A and B are shown apart, each in its own frame.
Chain A
Amino acid sequence: MKPLYLLFLATAELPAADPPAQVFQMNCSACHAVDQMVVGPSLVEISGIYGKDPDGFVKWCVAPQHKREGAIEMPSMAHLGEPTLRELHKYIIGHAAGKKEQKKADIDPYAVPAAQVRRPQVQRMFLPEASPAAIAVALPGELSFCFDAAECRLRYVWKGGFIDAWSYWKGNGSSQAKLGGEVIYRESRFPLTWPIAGEELPPKFLGYRVGKDGLPSFRYQRGGVTWTETIKPLSDGTGIERQFELDAGKAMTVAAEKAAVTSTTGSVAIPASATSFTLTFRWQ
């Protein structure tokens, strides 16, 4: 009876030192489960590391570091104070006793089988070899492309599956998505050029419209003109067709590095009178 009486006195007079179970619930349980990794390691694993090392446990809790690839750093538990952390250590060892680590499978529970990936489809995502403002587009067929909203231009086209973003989605976004195939075409700059008179403003992204066919039409300002660009696959898979709509014509030439380009204007020298034209790019 005596310990209970003391506890009663303590709660009546002062904010009591919380029992370890409550401290664990308030400070630890959101990230640490008994027998499997959640945000941080399980009590079983912690027990394996610090079972006989309460000093090391306290030291880690006060000044945690980033130790595991793919995991986040624990916030300091310095606010709990050493006596409470020592109690917590005992509590964790006690709870882990006799338990075994359960392994979690690293599989995307929302993954769609490759053959069933919806096409067309637009997904903004961190992608390799693009700015962080990248947009992945799956075209009908086997082609996909990366449009860069920071640079307002096509970056590359790949053939195969769409993207695997599980490494991004399973956590907090510290990974780029993997492309589902090989890049077959790449552009290092915007494919239309014009004589630049004076200083030209950097391009500005305006967004995109999704047509009834599900294809996005990207809108941007570049060279004093507002552009709308829609990219479609060629039916034989050897290239893409790019429809451009401009709010004002501009004399330009096509300067593609790794594709043969034909234009609905008849020539790759685009006259200022053309505000709507389509360029066909075939990979070389």
Chain B
Amino acid sequence: MIRHLSYFALLGTAAAANFTVERMPNPAGVDPQVGGVDVLPDGKVAVVFHRGEAMTFDPATKTWSKFAEGLQEPLGVIAESASSWLVMQRAELTRLKDTDGDGQADDYETVFDGFGMTGNYHEFAFGPAKGPDGSLYIALNLGSNGAGVREEIRGKWSEIGDLDFKQMIHDNEWGKRSVKAGRMYSRVPWRGWVLKLSPDGKTMTPFACGFRSPDGIGVDADGNVMVTDNQGDWRGTSPLHVLKPGGFHGHPASLVWQEGWNLGNPLKLPLAKIDAMRVKESGRFPQGELANSPTQSVVFPKTWGPYAGQVLIGEMNQKRMVRFTADDVNGFRQGSLIPIFDGTDLGNGNHRIAFANDGTLWVGKTHLSWAGAEGLVKVAPTQVNDAFIVTAVKLEKTAEGHSFRISFSQPLPSVNSIRLDRFNYLYHEDYGSPKVDEANVEITKREKIGDGHEWRLTVTPKLGAIHRFDLGGLKSEDGKSLEGKSVYYQASELP
């Protein structure tokens, strides 16, 4: 069943961009919760599932064939070729190889398992993402005090914490002690870290820390590693981080594994100290408004016209995805998060995403008992080169102070309808945050640059705040409405 649905068609205005959304059949007898998606050069889709199957989907025949099975909670795949897949599962990064050419993997090679496991359910393992030099990046979740640890663990136990090992072991009384564990915890190595592996997997470098539930690791067009994390403790709302090698990205639990760590329990450090140590967010997704659980990030290919080179990010709870356009300020990469696919039939649970060479976007859905969906979905743009979108937002210093320079894919006669406000979320140990420091932002001048592809808005920005542009009223010169009607600019730096 193919549904051609357009946001703009629904609104009864001229269509600027269309997307077709088509649900694929599920493989028979397989729990169709998708942990990883990649596309092979021939267009076939490599998919790994919740219960450990690795399967190939042939879009031409809409049939599935099994490549491997028996994995535990695979949450990412890179198909190096039809006969060699890298899969991240709970306990290790594994290379699945078909060495005898029968189409099924016979070698399950352990590429890297040098990280700890307590048996806590929340210790998911994500990735791999591949850097331009072939390095692999994996991201490791913290444990959650929704449960304790198991009696047998893998890896070195950290004594840092209010509960000792025996007290951390899950039993019927766990609920009475759990608050002392920390909302999320890192009691074995590299929980809350992103690790960098040499292409052969033999050399591991701890790359960056400070993550909570980094179920979204990707590499942008410039080779930067990007991670989305989930709203929760120390995450007032879900952030996007462009990783700083060696950097601490905000959730303190993982700091105990930093080389030479000697400051005791990081959860007990003064807030101001922790705040000063952290790498700030490159983008933030307002909870319940833009996205609640952002996931994997991938780069839009050339076939996506004005979107090319930007970053597409999946989202679990809202029936959309989000894209990111970067702005480098004072050497720090921050930028704008913009909704995409609003009003289409996409649905929620958008967990894993991959582009095929022909530009087809494959979306794998899951929920794992949280909010989400199931199955494999194909999204294709139509007339994408005609899409009327925001392509960039740059915060600049001007003689009068500051301005936002907004670039569009098509010229506009006017931007008088743009409204701008700002708000923030608290950085603190509590779970989530109310919106704080909300205010309208006055646009004191609106200048057309050149033919109207670009406009300069003179404003007084607020350091650290999310600046929300309401672009719902904009029309291109030929009357199109904008695809992506809000822009959330994270001003972690001011020029």
Contacts and interface: CB of A to CB of B under 8 A. Distances in A.
Interface in B6-58: 29-31, 50-52
Contact of B368 (A149, A172, A175): A172
Contact of B91 (A66, A75, A149, A176): A149
A79 B30 CA distance: 38
B91 A132 contact: yes
Given A66-B178, A79-B433, A72 B370 contact: yes
B441 to A, nearest CB: 12
B432 interface: yes
Interface stretch (A2-10, A44-52, A123-131, A231-239): A123-131
Nearest to A136: B70
Contacts of B120: 174
Contact of B232 (A75, A135, A216): A75
A109 B234 CA distance: 38
A206 B89 contact: no
Contact of A15 (B71, B92, B468): B468
B146 A75 contact: no
A261 B309 CA distance: 63
Contact of B371 (A30, A78, A208): A30
A73 B119 CA distance: 19
* Main SS at interface, chain B: loop
Contact of B154 (A73, A131, A169, A174): A131
B107 interface: yes
Interface stretch (B109-117, B244-252, B262-270, B395-403): B109-117
Interface string A147-185: 001100000000000000100011111111000000000
A170 B51 CA distance: 10
A135 to B, nearest CB: 8
B25 to A, nearest CB: 16
A138 to B, nearest CB: 10
Q: Which of B109, B122, B287, B425 is most buried by chain A, counting CB atoms within 10 A of its CB?
A: B287
B146 A79 contact: no
A57 B468 CA distance: 30
Contact of B372 (A30, A169, A206, A210): A30
A256 interface: no
Interface string A17-47: 0000001001100110000000100000000
B interface residue count range (under 10 / 10 to 19 / 20 to 34 / 35 or more)? 35 or more
Contacts of B90: 124, 132-133, 173
Contact of A79 (B153, B419, B435): B435
B121 to A, nearest CB: 4
Contact of B73 (A76, A173, A206): A173
Nearest to A220: B110
Interface string B370-386: 11100000000000000
B257 interface: no
A124 B72 contact: yes
B94 A207 contact: yes
Contacts of A121: 69-70
A244 interface: no
Interface of A: 13-15, 23, 26-27, 30-31, 39, 66, 72-73, 75-81, 110, 121-126, 129-133, 135, 149-150, 165, 169-176, 205-211, 216
15 contacts: A26-B288, A66-B175, A72-B370, A75-B287, A75-B432, A76-B430, A76-B432, A78-B432, A79-B237, A80-B288, A131-B119, A132-B90, A132-B153, A133-B92, A208-B108
